[in-house]
Amino acid sequence: MASVQIRKYRDEDAEVVKELFTLGMSEHVPSSFTHTLKQPLTQMVLMCSFCALITSSKSLLLPVLALTLLLAGVRQMVVYMFNRYIDASLGKDLGSIGETYLRRKESCFWVAESDGRVVGMAACLPAENAPGCLELKRMSVRRSHRGLGIAKALCRTVADFTRERGFPAVILYTSVVQTDAQKLYERMGYTKTREFVVPELAAKILNFTLLEYKLDLQQNRERD
Ligand SMILES: CC(C)(COP(=O)(O)OP(=O)(O)OC[C@H]1O[C@@H](n2cnc3c(N)ncnc32)[C@H](O)[C@@H]1OP(=O)(O)O)[C@@H](O)C(=O)NCCC(=O)NCCS
């Protein structure tokens, strides 16, 4: 990995960390929209609306216009879901990183720096839903620096930290549309332990599934 240094977060990183997180999350809007279009419920609604309109109007123009509007509406719903999640995260832990991650010895926040510029980040803290484990959070790498092994280095940093603190495992959550992240975690020895739909109405309608992964540090299976 060329000239990349991983170091602890400092207060002056606040804005660039928020930017990295926002960019990393926003890039999943197109794949989430495609995921939504593949759902049987979405296809049924689109098909039924199209058939009903073409039968009642006896013209092609109205159903095509209505379908276009419906698709634009679905896309806006996806954008809304992502923006809500981003805003909530920026208002919670990412709005007070020092307070949330750097005050206790069992949590931490790291950034990856290349030529003096922050290009990646990851954090961990005690997992709410898995007592006795740490949770890896906020993994993101700037697009221009992907494929260089920065995320793998951040994963190792989190695993080493967790091991040193005496915890037996790291868990994390990612989503069905974050396919690069899934490959990364599987590459680093994590195994998928659970899949569940986000417990929110819009997510249920769109069948937006979260995946839970676990790295068992007592039988570390990272493949070289
Ligand atoms: C997922 C992400 C962090 C990977 O960052 P990265 O620095 O490019 O990852 P690395 O270069 O360390 O690659 C690590 C491994 O992940 C897998 N991987 C990552 N991107 C991949 C891609 N586009 N295609 C195939 N495999 C990929 C590979 O197995 C790779 O290891 P290998 O090259 O030795 O086979 C980055 O794509 C990202 O920031 N995405 C947006 C934010 C996000 O979704 N974060 C996850 C939150 S849960």
pLDDT score, position 41: 87
Is 152 a pocket residue for ligand 1 (Cβ < 6 Å)? yes
Give the model confidence (pLDDT) of 144-187 as tens digits: 999 999 999 999 999 999 999 999 999 999 999 999 999 999 99
Of 85, 141, 150, the one to substitute when testing ligand 1's pocket (max ligand atoms within 8 A of C-beta) is 141
Is the CB–ligand 1 distance for residue 178 below 6 Å? yes
222 pLDDT above the threshold of 70: no
pLDDT at site 38 = 92
User: Which uninterrupted H or E stretch holds 125?
Assistant: strand 117-126
CA of 190 to the centre of ligand 1 (A): 14
User: pLDDT tier at 220 (50, 70, 90 boundaries)?
Assistant: low
Around 103, how many Cα atoms within 13 Å sit in the side-chain half-sphere?
6
136 lines ligand 1 (CB under 6 A): no
- What is the Cα–Cα distance from 65 to 115, expressed in whole angstroms? 50
Q: What is the mean pLDDT of residues 1-28?
A: 94
pLDDT at 2 (0 to 100): 58
Reported as a single tens digit per residue, the pLDDT across 30-48 is 999 999 999 988 899 889 9
Cα 185 to averaged position of ligand 1 atoms, centre (Å): 8
Domains and CATH numbers, the chain: 1-224 (3.40.630.30)
Q: Does the Cβ of 181 fall within 6 Å of ligand 1?
A: yes
96-142: pLDDT as tens digits: 999 999 999 999 999 999 999 999 999 999 999 899 999 999 999 99
What SS3 state is found at 103? Answer: coil
142 CA closest ligand 1 atom index: 39
Among protein residues, the one whose CA lies closest to atom 20 of ligand 1: 180
CA 160 to ligand 1 center in whole angstroms = 19
Q: Is the CB of 146 under 6 A from ligand 1?
A: yes
pTM of the prediction? 0.92
DSSP 163-186: HHTT-SEEEEEEETT-HHHHHHHH
For residue 152, the CA-to-ligand 1 centroid distance in Å is: 8
Cα 114 to averaged position of ligand 1 atoms, centre (Å)? 17
Instruction: Convert the pLDDT of each residue in 65-101 to its tens digit.
Output: 999 998 999 899 899 989 999 999 999 999 999 999 9
Angle at 89 (CA atoms; ends 217, 104), nearest 5 degrees: 50
Tell me the average pLDDT across 200-222.
84
Find the mean pLDDT for residues 49-64: 88
DSSP 25-91: HHTTHHHHHHHHHTSHHHHHHHHHHHHHHHHHH--SHHHHHHHHHHHHHHHHHHHHHHHHHHHHHHH
